[in-house]
Amino acid sequence: MYGHVRHAGIEIQNEMRLDRRLELRTSKDDLARWQSAARGGGYRAVADWIRTSLNREAAFVSGNLASGGRESSPVFGKTTFENGVRIVTESIPGAASIAVGVFVDCGWRDERPEETGLAQLCQRMLLLGTSSRDAARIAMEMDSTGGGLEGFTGRDYTCVSGFVPSGKRFQLMDLLGDIFLNSTFPPEHLEREQLWIRQQAAAALDRPAFQCAERMKAEAWGGPVDFAGRRASPRGDMHTREDAIYFLETHYSPNRIIIAAAGDLEHEEFVAQARDSYWRLIGESDAAPLVKPAFRKGISILTAEAGQAYFSLGFEAPGCAHSGRMGIEILTSLLGGGASSRLHTALASTPGLVCAIHTEHEAFREAGMLVVNGQTSPDRLGECIAKVMETVSALGSWRQPVTAGELELARERVRAWHQLEAQGPSTRMQRIGTQELYFGRHLSLQQRLAEIDAVDLNSLRRLISGEWRAALRRPCVAVLSPQLEPGWESQLRTSVQAEFEPEFRIYEVEARIA
């Protein structure tokens, strides 16, 4: 039924394709239920029912194998409404709370240049009043549950989520449904919210490390941008209420909405309550087309009154849906994921060379980037960056091959991170929501850990020796530091990479730290 399954230290391979899993022994009772569902709700409802049942059974079997037969594993469920709204849940036995998030496949990437800021404005205005609740009542109702309600807007998607005790889940679902169907975008809040958004953007000037990293990403992926790495609007005026409502009506269509929940719940009961609200949504729209941005190498220099010098190096990497994503995570950890990583070891050998250093994989739909962020004293900035590039280059050229011990340590760090992240209902809700958004399917913790264990020295070397070898030689660098001495740009150019091509670009940018 599930392909070849082996346990106790042996690989578990579990094909989740629906067409293969329909090769089941089908009883007469099953056929009768399917026929009844077809008459009542159409064949799409039958497919949803089958998919949900099979996913639940697969999750139960996989979880019991991993737990030695204990009935304590989370159970995943998925249902798609006729209008396109998707419901994904993870029932966690023993949980005393529930987290619910409404994900909308709409973010900064969907904004046209003249619409900059509208995605975040829409998300904030949703929470400020409906036809039956004003902002004060929404706040009071959430306070009465003992939980919390929050929202955020990213490049790829928008999310409004809540976390409450189990007994308050019906109140939370009713409130979220009212917010998404009946928000009125009160005009008296519009100017205040736009001023708040601008103040938050200006506050980033107080964080030189953040400003440096965002400047690097902005230059690497090109285009006219502000300090936060977002496309600058050609208009200096404020958006109108009509602008915000039009943006919402254009992009918040049911086929782009995912409702994710994790904790103390039963899938069918949760689906029934979600249907009470979200079945009324109509319409259909497409997200902005995926266009992979060209990665541009170069250096961006920002001078500012700061006590330390900050630097950010970016190397082109695959996006979040790449098949080798676990290899990228392990490579990121191996370079700078802990005190025993290569960058920490190399830089710590010289006392006082670096104050802080860490790596991360910035992954989006279209593209990704491996980022090295650091902090040092201004007089040692060139030496520090040179040491970072030397360490990265030694890995990219395989002059210093990854050892079995290094790989095992990096794997354990990544495994631990995934296991710790999956502890609470809120993080599980975020995980299943983003998995549905990016992959259209559920990846259990056991599956992710199996992917991590599958990364060996050969696969890591293939990853590095392929497109990565060229990417590691073409960094984009941003530096934020007090005023630098004349000629320092040439020293930085040499420190970063001697093999840069003639069209190498240096950006001079003045910045002030508020």
pLDDT in tens, 98-126: 999 999 999 988 998 889 889 999 999 99
- Label the pairing between strands 75-80 and 506-510: unpaired
Domain-embedded: residue 181: yes
Within this chain, do residues 334 and 476 fall inside the same structural domain, yes or no? yes
Q: Residue 230: what pLDDT?
A: 52
Within this chain, do residues 304 and 270 fall inside the same structural domain, yes or no? no
Reading the chain (514 residues) residue by residue, the pLDDT tens digits are 333 333 333 333 333 333 333 334 344 455 555 555 554 445 444 555 454 444 444 444 344 444 443 445 789 999 999 999 999 999 998 899 999 999 999 998 899 888 988 999 999 999 999 999 999 999 999 999 999 999 999 989 999 999 999 999 999 999 999 999 999 999 999 999 999 888 887 887 788 999 899 889 988 987 544 434 454 444 445 899 999 999 999 999 999 999 999 999 999 999 999 999 899 899 999 988 888 888 998 888 888 888 899 999 999 998 888 888 899 999 999 999 889 999 999 998 888 899 999 999 998 888 899 999 999 998 888 889 989 998 998 888 888 899 999 999 999 999 999 888 878 899 999 999 999 999 999 999 999 999 999 999 999 998 888 777 778 778 999 999 987 766 677 777 776 754 434 333 433 334 333 3
The total domain count for the chain is 2
Q: Which domain holds residue 206?
A: 97-278
Within this chain, do residues 237 and 196 fall inside the same structural domain, yes or no? yes
Within this chain, do residues 216 and 311 fall inside the same structural domain, yes or no? no
Domain-embedded: residue 8: no
Within this chain, do residues 374 and 498 fall inside the same structural domain, yes or no? yes
Domain-embedded: residue 46: no
Within this chain, do residues 309 and 224 fall inside the same structural domain, yes or no? no
CB 212 within 8 A of CB 302: yes
Tell me the per-residue pLDDT of 320-365, one tens digit each, with 9 for 90 and over.
Answer: 888 888 999 999 999 998 899 999 999 988 888 999 999 999 988 8
Task: Give the whole-angstrom CA distance, residue 174 versus residue 178.
Answer: 6
Within this chain, do residues 349 and 264 fall inside the same structural domain, yes or no? no
Q: Residue 471: what pLDDT?
A: 83
Task: Give the whole-angstrom CA distance, residue 231 versus residue 225.
Answer: 4
Domain-embedded: residue 84: no
Q: Residue 489: what pLDDT?
A: 72
> Smallest Cα–Cα separation from 52: which of 270, 321, 278?
270
Pick the last residue of a domain from 278, 313, 348: 278
Q: Count the helix, strand and coil residues of the chain and give each as a percent rounded to the nearest 5.
A: 50, 20, 35
398: left (phi over 0), alpha (psi -120 to 50) or beta: left
* Cα-based distances in Å from 485 to 208, 301, 384: 20, 12, 17
Q: Residue 14: what pLDDT?
A: 35
Within this chain, do residues 262 and 303 fall inside the same structural domain, yes or no? no
Domain-embedded: residue 63: no
Domain-embedded: residue 404: yes
Within this chain, do residues 495 and 348 fall inside the same structural domain, yes or no? yes
Within this chain, do residues 119 and 156 fall inside the same structural domain, yes or no? yes
Q: What are phi and psi of 378, to 5 degrees?
A: -55, -35
Domain-embedded: residue 62: no
CB 425 within 8 A of CB 348: no
Within this chain, do residues 169 and 237 fall inside the same structural domain, yes or no? yes
Within this chain, do residues 246 and 313 fall inside the same structural domain, yes or no? no
| pTM of the complete model | 0.79
Domain-embedded: residue 77: no
CATH of the domain at 422: 3.30.830.10
Pick the last residue of a domain from 278, 309, 338: 278
Q: Residue 514: what pLDDT?
A: 31
